[in-house]
Amino acid sequence: MRMLFLTVLFLGAIFNITAQNKKSNGLKLPDPLLSENGTKINNVEKWENIRRPEILEMVKNLMYGTSPEAPGKLKFVLFDQSENALKGKAIRKQVAVYISGKTDYHLLDLLIYLPKNMNKSVPVFLGLNFQGNHAINKDLAIRLSDKWVWIGAGGSEKNHPTERSRGAVSSRWPIEMILDKGYGVATVYAGDLDPDYYDDFKNGIHALYPKLQSRDDNFSTMGAWAWGLSRCMDYFEIDNDIDETKIGIFGFSRMGKAAIWAGANDERFGMVISNESGGGGAALSKRKVGENLARLNKGNRHWFSKSFSQFNEHEENLPFDQHMVLALVAPRPIYVGSAEGDPGSDSEGEFLSLKHASSVYNLFEMEGFKNTQFPHVDSPVFKEGMGYHIRSGTHDIKEYDWQQFLKFADRCWK
């Protein structure tokens, strides 16, 4: 009976892979190196001056939404610093970021852990978290969020964190392992910027920019999250303990979508890492596998611009796809992680997105994945400028994922 069960599982996996492969047969994708007026982009200068701005404006207007300019002045308040955090293994900083004005607006709280005894500024991985800074570690000194947090589906006014939620997602944040490799970790709660439910943009930072909500290319939640990550970058530029030229922006699932958009927009980020970001993230939309656009836009209509919904069930009409969004990161290193047991994220579509972005990396004389085949499970692929793995397991971020991110960072930065 057990053998029959395993055989069914195996055949099911083969069927799923075959079905996904069929989605790639005859797949027609826009050429990232062909401008809207037909100009062939064959060098870096044309990419940076013609095609990159063109793609950036296109995806901004049609998908992620138009974000405001950076605030004229930010105020950073270091409200906590410890030289002996995590039982003496780390330096901890907590920084409150305010938008200066007649009444300072508390934008976000930034939590930072740095390795001790470093005689130079250190590279840092920055990412959004789902449930508040306090949820990434049981450190009692982390300020408990006073915002709505995601506890189950829907937006409830009662979803406020308690002490019991400390360290709730610590398995996704192996801080000590990262510190041991000589890297820092920084995070901000996504809900500081905008809560993850549709509220007609009444909460979060959207209230500061009401004019951006009246158009189809509205200031979306994904845009707000990415914009907030750039404000963290503003702080890194003034902290002498942090190497602002080596900030790796990363994210898991929906936060991976935001990380890609932040890295595409803000060229100050030195590396972009997406883990199982799926549709609207690393995966190709035109394959219509996993999170198709109708599912994305109807289930989470706050994530993207209003105009993006015109492509529900009509992905073939998109004038771009996610390989072009990933290409906006070039020539900075980019890494995508997938999971075998996560069909919703479309692992092959995530890999193909990297592969089709490789032509832009080639302009910068970087190898990319142009001639790379889809790898076996738990067999990471590292090339110049790109990295990818599909691991065993389901939709999550594991220590294995982080091990590959660290290897990739070592390869690119050390």
Residues with catalytic roles: 253, 395
Tokens of 336: 């995508």
| Exposed e or buried b per residue across 173-183, where buried means at least 16 C-beta atoms within 10 angstroms of its C-beta | bbbbebbebbb
Please answer whether residues 264 and 335 qualify as being in contact, where contact means their C-beta atoms are separated by less than 8 angstroms: no
| DSSP label of 414 | -
Instruction: Report CA 217 to chain centroid distance, whole Å.
Output: 20
Query: 293: exposed, middle or buried (C-beta count within 10 Å: 0-12, 13-18, 19+)?
Result: buried
Edge-to-edge order in the sheet of strand 386-394: 74-84, 90-99, 105-115, 184-189, 122-129, 242-252, 271-275, 334-341, 386-394, 381-383
Please answer whether residues 352 and 326 qualify as being in contact, where contact means their C-beta atoms are separated by less than 8 angstroms: no
* Max Cα-Cα span within the chain: 72
Rounded Cα distance between 89 and 117, Å, is 10
Q: Which of 371, 368, 363 is nearest to 383 (CA)?
A: 368
Please answer whether residues 249 and 131 qualify as being in contact, where contact means their C-beta atoms are separated by less than 8 angstroms: no
Rounded Cα distance between 81 and 1, Å, is 59
Q: Give the containing element (helix H, strand E) for 263.
A: helix 254-265
